[in-house]
């Protein structure tokens, strides 16, 4: 076979290899969208199995990310110094060991993300949707029942604007909206009336957290700038978390304990 035909064969082979790699890359990029479409479409027992599988995959992915977050750190050992002469080039060295540790910042972020704190009320009573919401019937013959009124205390931000009545699914009554809370500092043993910044986590449901529903055991963020708390760097602390310890819808006020 002439030499130029060898070259042509090599070029064709290389082109096929490139096309294969490009196809595989595009297939992987499309896989995410296919999984999303399937997750939205599937229902019933198949949906349970698929969600269980995806949950296991996400846990594995988080474990892998956790391993990458680890870094090597040097610290002194408590071992006794060896007896006898030590070479001069070792005199200025200290016994060190390496250990896999995580920085405090990463640990703090993970705690906040997982919503794990040492809280005064570690367990709370579950609240059903029937107790949380009241069905509001609408329509000319009152046959539609897709609206819900929240029967518990809620928090909405300063810039909150209600949706038009025809589009509003969840109604939060003005009488049950709270902007401030009685927050007790456990170390100072004093109570302060502080503004609420937001609802960090409601243990009942993620939907209640999004709606800003405040029930017993909810973690809220309060403005503690007037307390004059400072960090180790000397910066003034603006917001801190607190846990609600009472039933606001029954007491008419929010009582909370600061998490320090």
How do residues 33-52 score in pLDDT, each as one tens digit?
A: 998 899 999 999 999 999 99
Give a yes or no: residue 202 inside a domain: yes
Q: Is residue 61 part of a domain?
A: no
Q: Above 60 in pLDDT, residue 100? A: no
Kindly report the three-state secondary structure assignment for every residue of 173-234: CHHHECCEEEEEECCCCEEEEEEEEEEEECCCCHHHHHHCEECCCCEEEEECHHHCCECCCC
The structure tokens listed for 74 are 């040097």
Phi-psi region of 237 (alpha: psi -120 to 50; beta: other; left: phi over 0): beta
Token duo for residue 1: 């076979």
Higher-pLDDT residue of 172 and 12 is: 172
Residue 35 lies in a domain: no
What is the pLDDT of the chain when averaged over all its residues?
A: 83
Domain containing 213: what range?
Answer: 129-258
Per-residue confidence band for 9, with pLDDT thresholds at 50, 70 and 90: low
Q: Provide the pLDDT for residue 11.
A: 59
pLDDT digits (tens, 9 = 90+) for 176-186: 999 999 999 99
Judge contact between 131 and 174, C-beta under 8 A. Answer: no
Instruction: Band the pLDDT of 132: cuts 50, 70, 90.
Output: very high
Asked whether residue 3 is domain-assigned, the answer is no
Give the separation between CA 246 and CA 228, rounded to whole angstroms. 26
What does residue 75 show for φ and ψ, rounded to 5 degrees?
A: -150, 160
At 113, the pLDDT band (50, 70, 90 cuts) reads low
What percent of the chain clears pLDDT 90, i.e. is strictly above it?
Answer: 49
Domain-located, residue 59: no
- Mean pLDDT is highest, among 18-22, 55-59, 99-103, for 55-59
Angle between helices 3-41 and 45-69 in degrees, nearest 10: 120
| CATH at 229 | 2.40.10.310
b/e code 18-32 from CB counts within 10 Å (16+ = b): eeeeeeeeeeeeeee
| pLDDT, position 227 | 87
Mean pLDDT computed over 117-126: 85
> What values do phi and psi take at 148, rounded to 5?
-135, 140
Q: Which of 63-67, 145-149, 197-201, 240-244 has the lowest mean pLDDT?
A: 63-67
Residue at 117 is within a domain: no
Q: Is 110 part of a structural domain of the chain?
A: no
pLDDT for residue 22: 85
Residue 218 lies in a domain: yes
Number of domains in the chain: 1
């Amino acid at each position: 076979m002439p030499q130029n035909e060898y070259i042509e064969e090599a070029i064709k082979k290389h082109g096929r290899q490139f096309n294969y790699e490009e196809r595989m890359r595009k297939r992987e990029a499309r896989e995410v969208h296919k999984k999303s479409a399937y997750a939205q479409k599937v229902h019933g027992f198949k949906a349970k199995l698929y969600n269980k599988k995806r949950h296991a995959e996400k846990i594995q992915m988080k474990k892998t990310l956790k391993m990458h977050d680890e870094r090597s750190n040097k610290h002194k050992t408590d071992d006794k110094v060896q007896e006898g002469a030590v070479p001069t080039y070792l005199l200025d060295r200290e016994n060190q060991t390496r250990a896999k540790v995580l920085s405090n910042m990463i640990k703090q972020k993970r705690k906040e993300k997982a919503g794990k704190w040492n809280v005064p009320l570690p367990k709370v009573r579950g609240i059903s949707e029937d107790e949380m919401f009241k069905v509001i019937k609408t329509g000319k013959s009152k046959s539609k029942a897709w609206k819900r009124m929240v029967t518990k205390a809620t928090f909405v931000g300063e810039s909150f604007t209600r949706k038009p009545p025809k589009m509003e699914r969840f109604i939060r009554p003005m009488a049950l909206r709270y902007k401030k809370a009685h927050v007790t500092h456990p170390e100072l043993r004093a109570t302060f009336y502080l503004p609420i910044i937001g609802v960090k986590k409601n243990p009942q449901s993620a939907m209640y957290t999004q709606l800003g529903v405040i029930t017993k055991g909810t973690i809220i963020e309060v403005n503690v700038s007037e307390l004059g708390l400072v960090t180790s760097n000397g910066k003034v602390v603006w917001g801190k978390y607190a846990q609600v310890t009472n039933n606001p819808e029954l007491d008419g006020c929010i009582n909370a304990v600061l998490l320090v």
